[in-house]
């Protein structure tokens, strides 16, 4: 985004290497001693030269045996990766050309930032083989990925999870100003009862730091006004802010259904997130990204040759759960299982080129603080699936974590947005839990005290059907892990 990255808690030893790349790509970490010493964080240029010098020494010394030595590589299984039959050394132009080719494949930031192009001429081109380069990139990519995940955890931790300035007494209904805004207000109620999201919107983008053009209006600033008005308990202020945010949304291009004026709360949420991402400075949006988005690693196993293809770092905000095919007596946890492990038919094995159906498994590399589950009830043909999917007040995603993800992944239900009616006409409401752990139904202007059993009611096909489920990370009594 062309911004200078300002990490509040940047890890020691990292040094900014590019101000033009995206924030995630501005840092890398490297081994300072190849194969012999533990990882330390060192500035890129220093350590790169160091590694390349090491490689040069190894190449010259026939006594040293190492997997990255060209001699060993010639006999090894990596031989087919090399550009020619012989161990050809790369010239500057080779490195530059392959650098641009690989820029779409690797995500270390090295390629897109042009760093490799810059450093290659300084290194001895006679020592930097294609295989060495691939090994080096692979290592840098792994380290960069681990660091990005840790950074997300650090960012999420900086946002408060308490209910300060969110008193129970302030909870209130919202005036449905146009008669069609139940989709938005039910979503707002759910978000207002997520302390971390509320605190982020309230504290991380103060008005004096806003540079959004007045003509288009800032979504984050107006959401902050709604939050303040809501938790102040002043109904007239809230109504005014809801009126204003409707204008701000329209000014930013939000267009609900042309005829009905109705829309889907999930669509509204996705649109809002897109706008926040667009309008806020990258380092500020990064907090929300860490709070709300999963990072998933997937692996696809070939049934023919057994080759496992992995893909790291897929970002997923809302867990959109397909309700078909039906699972016998299936509950939310069963459908989640299918979400995390499913068969794919459009994938060709990169080793044996087999196109038969394969099994893909997803694991959670970064566990967000707020989990939003969408039960996909509305299909493109305009039909609503009212099938009840039972769920409980807790959600345990621990078994889906990667081995290196030690973050607590147990969640508790905080809000449910439900729908009544069909696609031609219907009504949304929210049932949410406050600081006192008591549930309330928020149905337009009305606020009705409720029991947890009402929040967990999966519906019978004729009444309210849960649509969006909001879970928040369980607060720990004793902090034993992060």
Binding site for Zn ion (CB under 5 A): 210, 212, 218, 220-221, 302, 304-305, 307, 349, 351-352, 354
Q: How far is the CB of 211 from Zn ion (least distance, A)?
A: 8
Helix (H) or strand (E) holding 140: helix 130-157
Nearer to Zn ion, 278 or 379 (CB): 278
**Taking a C-beta distance cutoff of 8 angstroms, is the pair 398, 474 a contact?**
no
Torsions phi, psi of 243, nearest 5? Answer: -65, -45
Nearer to Zn ion, 29 or 205 (CB): 205
Q: Which two tokens stand for residue 49?
A: 């030269």
Q: How far is the CB of 351 from Zn ion (least distance, A)?
A: 5
Q: Which two tokens stand for residue 225?
A: 């006004």
C-alpha triplet 361, 149, 156: angle, nearest 5°: 115
Q: How far is the CB of 348 from Zn ion (least distance, A)?
A: 9
Q: How far is the CB of 305 from Zn ion (least distance, A)?
A: 3
Q: How far is the CB of 6 from Zn ion (least distance, A)?
A: 17
Q: Residue holding tokens 């889906």?
A: 400
Q: How far is the CB of 174 from Zn ion (least distance, A)?
A: 22
Q: Which two tokens stand for residue 416?
A: 């449910």
**DSSP structural state of residue 91:** P
Helices (H) and strands (E) in the chain, counts: 13, 12
Nearer to Zn ion, 210 or 321 (CB): 210
Within 13 A of 394's CA, how many CA atoms are on the CB side? 7
**Taking a C-beta distance cutoff of 8 angstroms, is the pair 383, 333 a contact?**
no
CA distance 62 to 72: 10
Torsions phi, psi of 332, nearest 5? Answer: -55, -40
Q: How far is the CB of 354 from Zn ion (least distance, A)?
A: 5
CA distance 265 to 41: 44
**Would you give the distance in Å from CA 417 to the centre of its chain?**
22
Nearer to Zn ion, 221 or 336 (CB): 221
Q: How far is the CB of 356 from Zn ion (least distance, A)?
A: 9
Q: How far is the CB of 201 from Zn ion (least distance, A)?
A: 10
Which of 294, 325, 295, 298 is CA-nearest to residue 309? 298
**Taking a C-beta distance cutoff of 8 angstroms, is the pair 125, 11 a contact?**
no
Nearer to Zn ion, 96 or 309 (CB): 309
Nearer to Zn ion, 251 or 305 (CB): 305
Q: Which two tokens stand for residue 482?
A: 């992060």
Which of 340, 302, 344 is CA-nearest to residue 320? 340
CA distance 196 to 156: 9
Nearer to Zn ion, 9 or 348 (CB): 348
Which of 428, 310, 305 is CA-nearest to residue 365? 310
Q: How far is the CB of 454 from Zn ion (least distance, A)?
A: 37
Q: Strand runs (DSSP E) across 211-350, as ranges?
A: 294-301, 308-316, 318-321, 341-344
**Taking a C-beta distance cutoff of 8 angstroms, is the pair 462, 422 a contact?**
no
Q: Which two tokens stand for residue 43?
A: 């500035």
Nearer to Zn ion, 276 or 455 (CB): 276
Nearer to Zn ion, 6 or 352 (CB): 352
CA distance 446 to 200: 27
**Taking a C-beta distance cutoff of 8 angstroms, is the pair 183, 262 a contact?**
yes
Nearer to Zn ion, 81 or 379 (CB): 81
Q: Residue holding tokens 């380290």?
A: 143
Q: How far is the CB of 219 from Zn ion (least distance, A)?
A: 8
Nearer to Zn ion, 110 or 280 (CB): 280
Q: How far is the CB of 205 from Zn ion (least distance, A)?
A: 5
CA distance 228 to 141: 42
CA distance 339 to 379: 18
Nearer to Zn ion, 212 or 318 (CB): 212
């Amino acid at each position: 985004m062309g911004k200078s990255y300002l990490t509040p808690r940047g890890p020691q030893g990292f040094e900014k290497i590019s101000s033009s790349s995206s924030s995630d790509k501005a840092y890398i970490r490297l081994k300072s001693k190849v194969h012999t010493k533990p990882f330390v964080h060192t500035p890129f240029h220093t350590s790169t030269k160091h590694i390349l010098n090491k490689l040069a020494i190894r190449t010259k010394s026939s006594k040293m045996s190492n997997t990255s030595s060209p001699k060993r590589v010639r006999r090894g299984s990596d031989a087919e990766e090399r550009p020619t039959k012989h161990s050809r050394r790369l010239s500057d132009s080779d490195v530059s050309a392959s650098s641009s080719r690989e820029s779409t494949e690797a995500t270390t930031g090295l390629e897109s930032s042009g760093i490799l192009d810059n450093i290659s001429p300084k290194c001895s081109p006679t020592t930097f083989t294609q295989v060495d380069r691939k090994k080096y990139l692979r290592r840098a990519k792994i380290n960069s990925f681990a660091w990005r995940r840790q950074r997300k955890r650090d960012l999420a931790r900086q946002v408060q999870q308490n209910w300060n300035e969110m008193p129970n007494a302030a909870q209130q209904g919202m005036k449905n100003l146009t008669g069609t805004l139940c989709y938005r207000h039910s979503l707002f109620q759910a978000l207002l009862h997520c302390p971390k999201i509320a605190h982020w919107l309230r504290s991380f983008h103060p008005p004096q730091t806003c540079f959004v053009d007045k003509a288009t209006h800032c979504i984050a600033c107006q959401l902050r006004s709604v939050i303040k008005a809501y938790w102040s308990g002043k109904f007239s202020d809230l109504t005014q802010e809801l009126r204003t945010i409707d204008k701000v949304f329209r000014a930013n291009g939000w267009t609900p259904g042309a005829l009905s004026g109705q829309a889907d709360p999930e669509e509204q949420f996705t649109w809002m997130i897109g706008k926040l991402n667009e309008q806020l400075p990258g380092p500020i949006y990064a907090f929300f990204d860490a709070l709300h988005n999963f990072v998933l690693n997937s692996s696809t196993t070939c049934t023919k040759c057994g080759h496992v293809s992995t893909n790291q770092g897929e970002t997923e905000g809302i867990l959109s759960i397909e309700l078909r095919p039906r699972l016998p007596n299936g509950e939310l946890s069963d459908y989640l299982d299918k979400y995390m492990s499913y068969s794919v038919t459009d994938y060709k094995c990169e080793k044996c080129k087999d196109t038969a159906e394969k099994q893909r498994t997803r694991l959670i590399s970064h566990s967000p603080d707020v989990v939003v589950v969408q039960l996909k009830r509305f299909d493109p043909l305009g039909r609503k699936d009212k099938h009840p999917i039972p769920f409980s007040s807790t959600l345990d995603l621990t078994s889906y974590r990667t081995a290196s993800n030690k973050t607590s992944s147990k969640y508790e239900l905080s809000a449910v947005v439900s729908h009544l009616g069909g696609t031609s006409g219907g009504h949304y409401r929210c049932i949410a839990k406050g600081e006192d752990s008591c549930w309330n139904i928020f149905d337009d202007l009305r606020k009705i005290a409720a029991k947890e059993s009402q929040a967990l009611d999966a519906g019978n096909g004729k009444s309210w059907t849960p649509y969006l489920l909001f879970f928040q990370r369980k607060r720990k009594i004793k902090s034993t892990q992060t």
